Amino acid sequence: MRETPCHVSRDEALIFERSHPGRAAYSLPPLDVPTVPLETWIEARFLRPDPVAGLPEVSEVDVIRHFTRLSRWNYAVDVGMYPLGSCTMKYNPKMNDQAARLEGFALHHPLTPEELSQGSLDVLKMLEELLCEITGMVAGCLQPAAGAHGELTGLLLIRACLEARGDPRRKVLIPDSAHGTNPASAAICGYSVQTIPSNERGLIDLDALRRAADRDLAALMLTNPNTLGLFEEEIEEITRIVHEAGGLVYMDGANMNALVGIARPGDMGVDVIHLNVHKTFSTPHGGGGPGAGPVLVTAELEPFLPVPRIVRRADGRLALDYDRPYSIGRVRAFYGNFGVLVRGLSYILTMGPEGLREVAETAVLNANYLAHHLKDTYEIAYPGPVMHEVVFSDKRQRAYGVRNVDIAKRLIDYGFHPPTMSFPLIVPGALMVEPTETECREELDLFIAAMKAIDRECRENPELVRTAPHRTRLGRLDEVAAARHPVLRWRPQASPSRAEAPPDGAPSERIGSSES
């Protein structure tokens, strides 16, 4: 809490200030063997002059309280609803974490010979086959470590395929509602990007697509449902137009939460799709944690998949096949983020086909429930039945001088993580809300009540909203300074001689003590 009634704030005393010379978190019996200086084994030039100086000397209870306190300054999906649109921050059953922690998986070294890795290879093969079944594709690669990495891999596959056809092309079409990673991936892959506008309903403008689908069209990168939460109803016509022009269709499948168990992109004419295992198939994510962005493809693209491919030999054993002349090569060390893939398999098997279908049905129902109850309070730029997420805007609240960022910050005071803001770019002042299937009706009702209360505050006391959050340890941070001059390392203040000078113009205080 920033305001504390007494002037001794336990929160302000971080672990370094609690340090007492000689205090330790352990007690060991006295040493009964002679001490040998480190220099006996390690040449002095490899030793730091004073390896432990600067570390806090604290008791066990100090350490526990320090980390527990830090964890309570954080918000997490295990604390409450986390409606960060497009990111699918849903609750992840702990059982999948436990599966990933099983010793046979967690301690298995990736260089273990194939004959001793049959179980782990089976996990990968099974997951690949299940993801093919879910997406309606024929083969896949689990290596990509994130959605964006999957995009790059998928585009490299498209490029390899078009080159093999003897018809390399230069242009990738991307709708204006797409996630920012899409144009970035296309550009990294060497393509030029042309934006396709959305029509007044928020869907791809088919006439614009027809005009752009020329002899230079390599691929369309499509997100379905798109980032407005809308299903591209003309998907079959869209894929037909692209194929007729000689291009391929890439689908950004990060939003598979809306389709899983119901509709298969392979049936819609999609040639390549990536999935975000860490969104749809259970892995705690956010904050840059490990992810997995497997890529699934049609038969035509299969020869180009990264090496190694996991194949079943005639005797039934699994093996890693590197002998693939058309492969684009490796896209990652080893075989992907294995723990994330184990979680994905565990999730899919425990949910089963009916369970997965229920995920999509409930995710869509929950988003529509929020849209229905909030549509009279907050503007929805592109009305209509939504899929897994709904994009509101601050259009009505702007009249009181309140912007989307203020509403998002005020939601923190009501105990919710803010929604995704200012994205998609085609909705000014966007507040993109994705409740996911894991929130019950009571939690959704609390969110609706909070959003309505904030709207009332916008009209009656806009300053309260503009200066939110009021109930967090820190208020509004200087986000630009934080991004330009990140203070990534805490430096003990007690011994300034050891502290390094901050980079030019950087705030010299650590984040924890900056004014808010």
Ligand X SMILES: *Cc1c(COP(=O)(O)O)cnc(C)c1O
- Footprint of ligand X (CB under 6 A): 86-87, 146-148, 179, 181, 223, 227, 252, 254-255, 276, 291, 293
* CB nearer to ligand X: pick between 121 and 277: 277
* CB nearer to ligand X: pick between 255 and 298: 255
CB of 293 to ligand X, least distance (A): 6
CB of 361 to ligand X, least distance (A): 20
User: Which residues does residue 248 pair with via DSSP β-bridges, in sequence order?
Assistant: 219
CB of 425 to ligand X, least distance (A): 13
- The C-alpha atoms of residue 140 and residue 127 are separated, in whole angstroms, by 10
Residue 16's Cα: distance from chain center in Å?
Answer: 33
CB of 151 to ligand X, least distance (A): 7
* CB nearer to ligand X: pick between 293 and 418: 293
* CB nearer to ligand X: pick between 147 and 429: 147
CB of 178 to ligand X, least distance (A): 7
* CB nearer to ligand X: pick between 147 and 435: 147
Pairing of the two strands 217-223 and 248-253: parallel
- The C-alpha atoms of residue 144 and residue 138 are separated, in whole angstroms, by 18
Return the structure tokens found at 75. Answer: 């918000």
Ramachandran angles phi, psi of 171, nearest 5° = -115, 135
CB of 324 to ligand X, least distance (A): 26
- The C-alpha atoms of residue 136 and residue 154 are separated, in whole angstroms, by 16
Detail the DSSP E strand segments found in 298-405. Answer: 309-312, 318-321, 379-380, 390-393
Q: Do 223 and 254 form a contact (C-beta atoms < 8 A)?
A: yes
* CB nearer to ligand X: pick between 179 and 309: 179
Own/partner pairs for 236-243, CB < 8 Å, 24+ apart? 236/268, 236/269, 237/206, 238/204, 238/206, 238/209, 238/269, 239/268, 239/269, 239/270, 240/269, 241/206, 241/209, 241/210, 241/213, 242/173, 242/209, 242/213, 242/217, 243/269
Q: Which of 319, 322, 303 is nearest to 311 (CA)?
A: 319
* CB nearer to ligand X: pick between 148 and 235: 148
* CB nearer to ligand X: pick between 183 and 469: 183
- The C-alpha atoms of residue 393 and residue 90 are separated, in whole angstroms, by 23
Could you give the C-alpha distances from 139 to 240, 246, 301, in angstroms and in order? 22, 22, 9
Q: Do 95 and 398 form a contact (C-beta atoms < 8 A)?
A: no
CB of 233 to ligand X, least distance (A): 18
CB of 291 to ligand X, least distance (A): 5
With CB atoms as reference, the residue minimizing the distance to ligand X is: 147
* CB nearer to ligand X: pick between 77 and 468: 77
CB of 148 to ligand X, least distance (A): 3
Q: Which of 356, 82, 368 is nearest to 231 (CA)?
A: 368
Q: Do 265 and 135 form a contact (C-beta atoms < 8 A)?
A: yes
